Amino acid sequence: MDCVFCGIINGQIPSKTVYEDDLIKAFCDIEPQAPVHIVIVPKIHITSANEIGEKEAVYVAHIFSKAKEIAKSQGIDQSGYRIINNCGKDAGQTVSHLHFHLLGGKDLGAKLV
């Protein structure tokens, strides 16, 4: 399977890891869109939010349970951050491996689009 995030998870593609455990990995986005831009992924290949069932939801819950820790490690837990998931074409999903963007380090504004 040709998946860049699976490649990052198994170490074949280099990344700047900021957090990792048995279920998830978090690394710096290669094209940051904010001073802090982290990508958080489950360590199983889930194509998108459309594919989240009970088994996959365990990984999603774990990502959210660790997000504040990851934000704190980047110094943005108190200033604030945004967590974004893009699902499908209209949302601009470019990597077909479920992931959450954790963005912060500046005032991101109130508008979502």
Asked if 31 interacts with ligand AMP (CB under 6 A), we say yes
Name which of 81 and 101 has its Cβ closer to Zn ion: 101
Site string for Zn ion, 42-71 (x = CB under 5 A): ---x--------------------------
The nearest distance, CB 27 to Zn ion, in angstroms, is: 13
Q: Is 99 a catalytic residue?
A: yes
CB of 12 to ligand AMP, least distance (A): 11
As a dihedral over the C-alpha atoms of residue 89, residue 64, residue 55, residue 20, rounded to 10 degrees, the angle is 100
Among 3, 4, 18, 58, binds ligand AMP (CB under 6 A): 4
Q: From 24-32, 46-54, 72-80, 104-112, give the range in contact with ligand AMP by CB under 6 A.
A: 24-32
Q: Determine if 24 is a binding residue for ligand AMP (CB under 6 A).
A: no
- CA 102-103-109 angle, 5° bins: 135
47 and 2 Cβ atoms separated by less than 8 Å: no
Q: Where in the sequence numbering do the catalytic residues fall?
A: 99
